[in-house]
């Protein structure tokens, strides 16, 4: 069963069709990358998958269950975890508390009012493990506001992992990173590959072609091609629409 399937997803903003009849799938264990020029509608598409934006028509299914009408937190409970292109963290929390917030999202509920959240050693251990996975153990007690940009990006991933997801939506995880940070992030994504089905939206072509099992190309809200990375490189329509000089060079 596919981890994620969208059928004929359409979203219009006024006269602009931001998502134009998008049908795509993410198979178990697959890393499916979406590339496209700025304004192609990548973030709008991610928003509809996560439930932050309601599509005008079409459907979204997670693991065979239609979730089009479900809210953001309900989709998250079904195993969908996402990261944001523009970092979305609890800014006045420490790194550990951010991840602990994510770990606690796995609990059936958090209507527990008495014991300190830090005294839940199982949850704290899970949070520490997630920080360790992304290499942020040393910064666990650092307030998020004082973390470096690259570290905040890593924390984004740690939070998504801490919810023990069944599917990852990664919205430009390399955005704004230095070369060194990007290399580390790509290595991290490689290590996660296969453990989770992933939908990766990314600008960095080298990253996409080294990571992806399949690549879809989004142009003006429409998917113009979905194929293996090698075939995408040589697809003339894609080259005309997007890759252009970058590949030719």
Please return the burial class of 44, using the count of CB atoms within 10 Å of its CB with bins 0-12, 13-18 and 19+: buried
* Minimum distance, C-beta of residue 245 to other proteins, in the bound complex (Å): 36
Nearer to other proteins, 83 or 235 (CB): 83
Q: Which is nearer to other proteins, 15 or 113 (CB)?
A: 113
102 near other proteins, judged by CB under 8 A: yes
Closest to 11 (Cα-Cα) out of 218, 200, 240: 218
Residues 70-84 as b/e (b if ≥16 CB within 10 A, e otherwise) read beeeebbeebbbbbb
For residues 82 and 36, what is the distance between their CA atoms, to the nearest angstrom? 19
Dihedral of CA atoms 156, 56, 228, 236 in degrees, nearest 10, equals -120
Indicate the residue among 50 and 208 with the shorter CB distance to other proteins.
50
Report 48-77 residues binding other proteins (CB under 8 A): 50, 52, 71-73, 76-77
What is d(CA 167, CA 27) in angstroms, rounded to the nearest whole number? 10
Q: How many residues bind other proteins (CB under 8 A)?
A: 37
Nearer to other proteins, 93 or 220 (CB): 93
* Contacts of 157 by beta carbon, 8 Å cutoff, 6+ apart: 83, 134, 170, 173, 185, 188
Q: How far is the CB of 146 from other proteins (least distance, A)?
A: 12
Which is nearer to other proteins, 192 or 217 (by Cβ)? Answer: 192
Least distance to other proteins, CB of residue 49, Å: 11
Write out the binding residues for other proteins, residues 109-168 only, by CB under 8 A. Answer: 110-118, 120, 159, 163
**Backbone phi, then psi, for 147, in 5-degree steps?**
-75, 150
Is 245 a residue that touches other proteins (CB under 8 A)? no
- The candidate with the shortest Cα–Cα distance to 22, out of 57, 53, 52, is 57
Neighbours of 225 (CB within 10 A): 16
Shortest Å distance, C-beta 34 to other proteins = 19
107 binds other proteins (CB under 8 A): yes
Question: Of 149 and 190, which CB lies nearer to other proteins in the complex structure?
Answer: 149
The residues in 24-53 that bind other proteins, with binding defined as CB under 8 A, are: 50, 52
Q: How far apart are CA 70 and CA 24, in angstroms?
A: 19
Catalog residues that contact other proteins under the rule CB under 8 A: 50, 52, 71-73, 76-77, 81-82, 84, 88-93, 97-98, 100-102, 104-107, 110-118, 120, 159, 163
């Amino acid at each position: 069963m596919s981890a994620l399937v969208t059928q004929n997803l359409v979203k219009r903003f006024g006269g602009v069709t931001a998502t134009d009849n998008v049908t795509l799938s993410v198979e178990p264990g697959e890393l499916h990358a979406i590339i496209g020029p700025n304004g192609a509608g990548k973030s709008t598409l991610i928003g509809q998958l996560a439930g932050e934006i309601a599509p005008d028509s079409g459907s979204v299914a997670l693991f065979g269950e239609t979730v089009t009408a479900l809210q953001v937190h309900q989709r998250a409970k079904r195993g969908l975890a996402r990261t944001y292109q523009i970092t979305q963290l609890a800014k006045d929390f420490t790194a550990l508390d951010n991840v602990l917030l994510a770990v606690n999202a796995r609990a059936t509920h958090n209507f527990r009012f008495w014991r300190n959240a830090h005294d839940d050693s199982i949850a704290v251990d899970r949070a520490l493990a997630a920080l360790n996975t992304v290499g942020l153990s040393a910064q666990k007690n650092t307030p998020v506001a004082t973390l470096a940009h690259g570290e905040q990006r890593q924390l984004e991933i740690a939070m998504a992992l801490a919810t023990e997801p069944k599917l990852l939506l990664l919205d430009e995880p390399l955005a704004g990173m230095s070369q060194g940070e990007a290399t580390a992030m790509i290595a991290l994504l490689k290590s996660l590959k296969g453990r989770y089905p992933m939908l990766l939206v990314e600008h960095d072509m080298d990253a996409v072609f080294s990571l992806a099992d399949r690549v879809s190309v989004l142009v003006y809200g429409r998917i113009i091609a979905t194929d293996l990375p090698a075939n995408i490189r040589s697809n003339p329509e894609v080259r005309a629409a997007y890759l252009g000089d970058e590949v030719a060079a």
